[in-house]
Amino acid sequence: MVTNDYTMRSIVAQIDKNQRELIEAFVQGAVYCHCKISEKGTSFAARDLFGGDNYYWQGTPLIALYQWHENNDADDPVGMAGKDLGWILLGVLAKDKRHFSKSKEYTNVYEWLYLEGVEDIE
């Protein structure tokens, strides 16, 4: 759950329900991995999990976002797919049993509040 106020937006890419569910499961796995291996209190953004060294989306469900924008002549398919993924990340965190705070920097940045909501996940 995201503990502070936030606004949900729809993604631009028109993908089917199955693709969306696969992407959400992939995103949740990345979040779980981040929470497991990172130092407690380390913040993260979508670009930390899925950009930089992790930019290569081929072979993952995320490629559907890029392909939709590429096939629909987006000026910046990489950027648009990244924005869609950011909104999907927020939705995944909002549904998670763990507690996350959200702050706005250049992008939305999240922090797992590992001392809050522990009783919800045990």
Spell out, as residue ranges, where the chain has pLDDT lower than 50.
122
Please tell me the distance from the alpha carbon of residue 1 to that of residue 92, in angstroms, as a whole number. 9
Three-state secondary structure call for residue 101: strand
Distance CA 80, CA 117 (A): 33
- This model's pTM is above 0.85: yes
Determine the pLDDT at residue 118. Answer: 56
Q: What is the pLDDT of residue 105?
A: 84
